[in-house]
Amino acid sequence: MNPAADPALNREIVLDTETTGLSPAAGDRLVEIGCVELINHIPSGRHFHVYVNPQRSMPEEAFRVHGLSEEFLADKPLFGAVVEDFRAFIGDATLVIHNASFDMGFLNAELERAGHRPLANKVIDTVMLARQKHPGARVSLDAMCKHYGIDNTRRTLHGALLDSEILAEVYLELLGGKQVSLALIAETTVSGVDAIATRVTASQRPHALPQRLTPDEAAAHAAFIATLGEESIWQRYRAAGS
């Protein structure tokens, strides 16, 4: 089943990019896109990841951030060659991005350069969420990981897919923690991957509670039910319990 076609599913895409610098207006380009799909706030197991040839040099400052060299990117596809797959993956899902204006600025600049319309998806900026929930606190991705006890030891360098996976965990905590995944999530299948669903099962008593009605009270109750007629719902309850 295509989750994008099921209106009952809350589909979100956690997204991150890496670039050659800070400003597309100054000639900086996109070099990596990483996306993680969430269904009802839970990772489905589906992701999109691609490196992009920026057709320009890699400044040393940017290389120190993500470690993607000109040599590594030289044989990677141009953005125009991956844009259709990218747009097909995100569809009209809500995008969840840390410091969204940065990534959206680069994505829309690349889309314009490739002759495509800009993204019209709803966007949730987790920086804004973090500032609302933790006023005055540092809200970098690393700071949020430290605050919520999320393991980010793999993050020695920035990477779009890894950062999206980590951000998905941070986003869940910003929404209220693990309880958002409990009990009320319908079990779904997303492109062959079972979405995680946690169900709360009531424990059963090892022995039934003793009868609390006296024989006289039980007889009086039965006599009252008899006056209600054969179609009374109480008659069905009485038959089921007999």
Provide the annotated active-site residues.
Answer: 158
Task: Give the separation between CA 58 and CA 38, rounded to whole angstroms.
Answer: 32
The Cβ of residue 22 has, within 10 Å, a number of other Cβ atoms equal to 14
Between CA 54 and CA 179, with CA 156 as vertex, the angle to 5 degrees is 105
In 114-211, alpha helices (H): 126-133, 141-148, 160-174
Residues 185, 42: Cα–Cα separation, whole Å = 9
233, amino acid identity = I
CA dihedral (79, 21, 19, 148) in degrees, to 10, reads: -150
Backbone angles phi, psi at 94, to 5 degrees: -70, 135
Longest dimension (CA), the chain: 93
Please check whether residue 159 is in contact with residue 32, taking contact to mean a CB–CB distance below 8 angstroms. Answer: yes
**Which one-letter DSSP state was computed for residue 158?**
-
CA distance 39 to 165: 14
